[in-house]
Structure 1
Amino acid sequence: MTIQPARPERGGPRTASVMDVSPFKPSLVKAVFRDVTSMHVSRSAAWAAASVTRTVLTEIIDGARRAAAEEARKKLIPGDLLSAIDRNVELEVGSKWYDHSPTFRDLTGVLYDTAGVIVPSRKRSRSRKTSAVVGAHRFEAGVKKLLRSQGVTAVPAMVRDLDGIASVFLTDLARDAAVVVREGGARRFGTVTPVMSGEPASPPFLKDSLQALSTHKGDGRTIGRDDILTATTIQLFGSNLRQRALAEAHEATQNTSAG
């Protein structure tokens, strides 16, 4: 069955193929996974995780771009990120980053001027350091490549937020994939597919995919592509974004070897 676009009204720059932009390389993905688990990560799993992360970041950037366009701007500021998430709750991913970012930590005290520069707040909370946050800078090049693919740039604070969200999201994806392997599938998380209020029921493609991914196939020591896809269904609660991420990851790994 052909997957229909989730939001046909979207306009503006968009990549023609999921393989046109590959900002998060498998070596980077595997480095993140090594922070989480000692399990081997197959090449197809690394490509799938990179694809899912790219899909999520692209959707966040697209939402922020549309918010900025309403003010005739092509340079994104953190306020555009907040607007994108406020308009589409599916984009609320990598939320552990929110504890470390001024954008989210103190919404009433942190302001940005017209150039997107942080105006210091009197209230500051102490940041906890985790591997995902410490390693967030690794995603800067990929984030900037995605921004260019959308025809926009971003102020440094916005790039840092996108870095952090990508890092935390991929770290969470790695943890869930490792759990899927250890427990032999997604049984721990149940079989109910969450659907947001007002969303249509999941199409047959997605239902069939979720059923097929419910059981881990492998030796118990290797994270494979299907384990990443199962983890994706756990991380992404909105069916529109989840469906798109699964479809693009499947396309991105069609010609990738399992090793």
Structure 2
Amino acid sequence: MTAPPARPERRGHEAASPAEVPPFKPSLVTTVFRDVTPMHVSRPAARAAASVTRTVLAEIVDGARRAAAEESRKRLVPADLLAAIGRDVELEVGAGWYAHSPTFRDRLGVPYDAGAGAAPSRERRRPRKPSAVAGAHRFEAGVRKLLRSRGVTAVPAMVRDLNGIASAFLTDLARDAAMVVREGGIQRFGAVALVTPGEPADAPFPKDALGAGSARRGDRRTIGRDDVLAATTIQLFGGGLRRRALAEAREAAPDRAGAR
């Protein structure tokens, strides 16, 4: 009997490509979108949104991992999250979570909601639809899977922060995608160039790479893949992270004959 051929060894970023590690399921994405809008979400749109969220969280985890490595640690703590964001302003996303996390309370000077994330009391009414904060726990399985794929673990407080950032970011992405559908496209958009002193600036970011033309295809009742890509250009500024997120989302949800 002939032995099966050995699989090639994968290293580094290749071992954690979007196609191999999809930590956030399209079904979770659809649930979040339904919390925000009654519009239908196409399957390519859900896959694209899941990919964008994964790319953003992977960049944050990698930044925190580098900060932890400087102290010879593989277990991430909230201070590593702050260090990652402090070193790369592009990673400052999901800001709706910041006011509910003690990790960001002192750094940003925002009031801390001590009740966030706690079990609701009998007197406290539950919201009709879960907010990004109340629904953050839904992201825990995906966050832990993502951490494993990057070769690190995290303390519970760090996991909660990553859950919250993912939930807030995806909620904002859903709102912007719905806005793109309602308005028939993005009316105004631009790019922010982040330049480090002493280093050459990146090449200009082409407008057609944004995937955000003045007009959109499709009806006004369905959020499609291109609407999610357009929303990504609103949520992510700068060139590097946005470019990677768009490229990986297109790979995860290819445009087959204009399918939405």
- The answer on whether the counterparts of 2:186 and 2:212 sit within 8 Å (CA) in structure 1 is no
The 5 Å alignment of 1:81-230 reads 81-107=81-107, 125-126=113-114, 131-187=131-187, 190-198=188-196, 199-204=201-206, 207-210=207-210, 213-230=213-230
Across the two proteins, how many residue pairs are aligned to each other? 231
Percent identity over paired residues: 68
User: If the length of structure 1 is used for normalisation, what is the TM-score?
Assistant: 0.83
- The answer on whether the counterparts of 1:15 and 1:149 sit within 8 Å (CA) in structure 2 is no
2:45 paired residue number: 45
Q: State whether structure 2 residue 234 is matched by structure 1 residue 234.
A: yes
> Structure 2, unaligned stretches of length 5 or more?
1-10, 118-129
**Deviation for aligned residue 1:196:** 2.3
Structure 1 Cα separation of the partners of residues 166 and 14 of structure 2: 19
Residue deviations 1:49-99, cap 9 Å, x none? 000000000000000000000000000000000000000000000011000
Structure 2 Cα separation of the partners of residues 99 and 124 of structure 1: 6
Amino acid at match of 1:202: P
**Deviation for aligned residue 1:215:** 2.2
Amino acid at match of 1:54: R
Q: State whether structure 2 residue 63 is matched by structure 1 residue 63.
A: yes
The alignment partner of 1:131 has SS state of coil
Q: Residues 173 and 197 (structure 1 numbering): CA distance in 2 closer, same or farther, change over 3 Å?
A: same
Amino acid at match of 2:243: Q
Structure 2 Cα separation of the partners of residues 221 and 108 of structure 1: 38
Structure 2 Cα separation of the partners of residues 108 and 185 of structure 1: 33
Amino acid at match of 1:140: E
Structure 2 Cα separation of the partners of residues 212 and 34 of structure 1: 23
The alignment partner of 2:182 has SS state of helix
Structure 1 Cα separation of the partners of residues 191 and 63 of structure 2: 24
Structure 1 Cα separation of the partners of residues 19 and 235 of structure 2: 22
Structure 2 Cα separation of the partners of residues 27 and 40 of structure 1: 13
Amino acid at match of 2:135: G
- The answer on whether the counterparts of 2:191 and 2:238 sit within 8 Å (CA) in structure 1 is no
Structure 2 Cα separation of the partners of residues 200 and 144 of structure 1: 33
1:4 paired residue number: none
Structure 1 Cα separation of the partners of residues 112 and 212 of structure 2: 46
Q: Residues 124 and 232 (structure 1 numbering): CA distance in 2 closer, same or farther, change over 3 Å?
A: closer
The alignment partner of 1:14 has SS state of helix
1:80 paired residue number: 80
- The answer on whether the counterparts of 1:15 and 1:21 sit within 8 Å (CA) in structure 2 is no
- The answer on whether the counterparts of 1:100 and 1:128 sit within 8 Å (CA) in structure 2 is yes
**Deviation for aligned residue 1:124:** 5.4
2:248 paired residue number: 248
User: If the length of structure 2 is used for normalisation, what is the TM-score?
Assistant: 0.82
- The answer on whether the counterparts of 2:132 and 2:167 sit within 8 Å (CA) in structure 1 is yes
> Structure 1, unaligned stretches of length 5 or more?
1-11, 110-122
Q: Residues 256 and 136 (structure 1 numbering): CA distance in 2 closer, same or farther, change over 3 Å?
A: farther
Q: Residues 212 and 159 (structure 1 numbering): CA distance in 2 closer, same or farther, change over 3 Å?
A: closer
**Deviation for aligned residue 1:217:** 1.1
